[in-house]
Structure 1
Amino acid sequence: MMTQTIGIIGSGLVGGAIARLAVAAGHHVVLSNSRGPETISGLVQELGPLARAGTVDEAIESGDIVALPLPLASYEALPADKLAGKVVLDQTNYYPEFWRHAELDSGALTSSELVQRHLKDSTVIKGLHNFDWNHIHANARPQGHPDRMTVPVAGDDEAAKRLVTQFVESIGYDVIDAGSLAESWRIEPETPIYFWPYAPVVPDGLSEDEQKRHYLEAPVPPVTTEIARQMIDSAVRPSPIGGELAKMPPAHVAIFMELASGNTVKK
């Protein structure tokens, strides 16, 4: 396995999940956020010697791949000059209820094309965006495991796509090519491969706490390469474009709202 250094801009739940998988696979991680390295000290201590906290600039400079587990609305704040020449893993998603953009609403651009336009001297690859922090970690399986999942990536540069593919394969997933950034709408919110296949079905008749526990802990049937290919190829571009929180699994929404309010999820 080729050891990589992953720079992560955003040290929240998704960033933490990516970091955990990366260090478990032997990669180095430099975590950053807008509040400064000192706010990540607890997470870095938990992750061990392969992880360190840094400024956003340090995460960018160190990263063979720079991951963006961020809200899409923050893309314009990304330092395009510092990210020049970097392979950028775009984990953003478009949810118009939180932030709107006319070119995305019209379908003139995909969200990753919008990020690529801002980061004009970087190479943007879409991936690891279509499931939540819990299942990014919980669904990972070693190479050859019968329940190993397949996840999509999209991008315009084949060498960068291979680099990201190597990383994703090393942390627990098979990878399928979903095409160019212009075609990445096929793996965006409200398409067959987005989110739902990577989360468990919650049975009826459970209490709210039982629903959340089941959602966090129940196993998920594997998305094989054949299933992933079928879902990508059969996708129809949503209208209207973009995701809606209310269309996500109810247990996920309940956990999301609980975390957003600062409460601890019961497990």
Structure 2
Amino acid sequence: MKITVIGAGAIGGNLAAKLSTAGHDVQVADARGPEAVRPEVLESGARAAELADAVQGRDVIVLAIPFGVAGKLAGLFAPVPAETVVIDTSNYYPHLSGQIEAVDNGEIDSVWNAEQLGRPVVKAWNAALAETQRTKGVPAGTPGRLAIPVAGDSEEARRVAMQLVDDTGFDPYDAGTLADSWRQQPNSPAYCTELTLDELPAALAAADRVKDARIRDSVPERLAALPATATLEDVVEMNRAAHR
């Protein structure tokens, strides 16, 4: 597939490298310009591109950008064909993006983001830590393979996103429509807790919007309480413990 990843940070870099390794034609674009793409992201064959050119003639566009920024790209996406699958990887953390009244008042994070962009999106890769994505992807069929939920209103777009999740080393799980994607947002039981395909459905079902929002808002304090030498496993355990 022809894929563009917009955003060259940890998540975007991970996805560009893994999807390129899987054999896809991958471009990476960043608002700061092609020079912002780290050399190691391009080692597997991905190419740095200008943002204005990177959305043309692509099958899939992955948004690996901070939550709330999508609206700034609405003009860029206006001429992009409707059949192009757009995947959103972002998460709403008020202490990072600032308070967004519509979301605070109950609108689903991903639905709001799609409205700002002006087109449908699929939610994927948001519920796994960057380091989990970088280090824990394994071939299909490997015992204990971790799972990633995928939500979106188009069955075909979900299918495409699920195939790409598989290509990055994780079992994809069909998590339903975009209106259901709050179940994989911060800080639900399914969010960044490293679950297998057998474990993930129960975690999604256990989500509680009010409780999970309180846990999300306590993340800065809980992270500050971890030792300076905290590992990926420490962070995952912190997320799991919040739901016990």
TM-score, normalised with respect to structure 2: 0.83
From the superposition, tell whether residues 56 and 252 of structure 1 become closer, same or farther in structure 2 (CA, over 3 Å): farther
1:158 to 150, 155, 158: 155
Which residue matches 1:234?
206
Aligned-pair identity in percent equals 31
AA paired with 1:100? Q
Change (3 A) 1:172 1:124: same
Runs of 4+ in 1 over 4 A off after TM superposition: 251-255
SS in 1 for 2:92: coil
Q: Which SS does the other structure have where 2:43 is aligned?
A: helix
Shift of residue 29, structure 1, vs aligned partner: 1.0
Q: Residues 80 and 150 from structure 1, CA distance in 2 versus in 1: closer, same or farther, beyond 3 angstroms?
A: same
What residue ranges of structure 2 are gaps of 5+ in the alignment? 232-244
Change over 3 Å in CA distance of 1:9–1:45 after alignment to 2: closer
Which one of 162, 167, 171 corresponds to residue 170 of structure 1?
167
Q: 1:232 to 1:21 in 2, by over 3 A?
A: same
Q: 2-side partners of 1:154 and 1:42: how far apart?
A: 32
TM-score by structure 1 length?
A: 0.76
Tell me the distance in 1 between the aligned counterparts of 2:175 and 2:228: 26
Q: 1:133 to 1:102 in 2, by over 3 A?
A: same
Counterpart of 1:205 in structure 2 is none
Q: 1:65 aligned to 60, 68, 71, which one?
A: 60
Quick one: which amino acid aligns to residue 101 of structure 1?
A: I
* Counterparts in 2 of 1:253 and 1:236: CA distance versus 1, 3 Å: farther
Shift in CA distance, 172/252, structure 1 to aligned 2, threshold 3 Å: farther
1:115 aligns with 2:87: no
CA RMSD of aligned residues (A): 2.4
Q: Secondary structure at the match of 2:77?
A: coil
Query: Given residue 115 of structure 1, which amino acid in structure 2 is its aligned partner?
Result: N
Query: 2:105 corresponds to which residue?
Result: 106
**Judging changes above 3 Å, is the alpha-carbon distance between structure 1 residues 117 and 40 closer, same or farther for their aligned structure 2 residues?**
same
Q: Establish whether residue 182 from structure 1 lines up as the match of residue 179 from structure 2.
A: yes
The whole-number CA distance in structure 2 between the counterparts of 1:119 and 1:92 is 13
Check whether the contact 1:105–1:240 (CA below 8 A) recurs between aligned residues: no
- C-alpha spacing 1:115/1:127, structure 2 compared with 1 (3 Å): same
Instruction: From 143, 148, 160, give the equivalent of 2:145.
Output: 148
Task: Identify the residue that residue 250 of structure 1 maps to in structure 2.
Answer: 226
**2:185 counterpart letter in structure 1:** E
Q: Distance in 1 between matches of 2:229 and 2:15?
A: 21
Equivalent-residue separation in structure 1 for 2:149 and 2:64 (angstroms) = 16
Residue 235 of structure 2: aligned partner:
none
Q: Aligned pair in 2 of structure 1 residues 165, 55: CA closer, same or farther (>3 Å)?
A: same
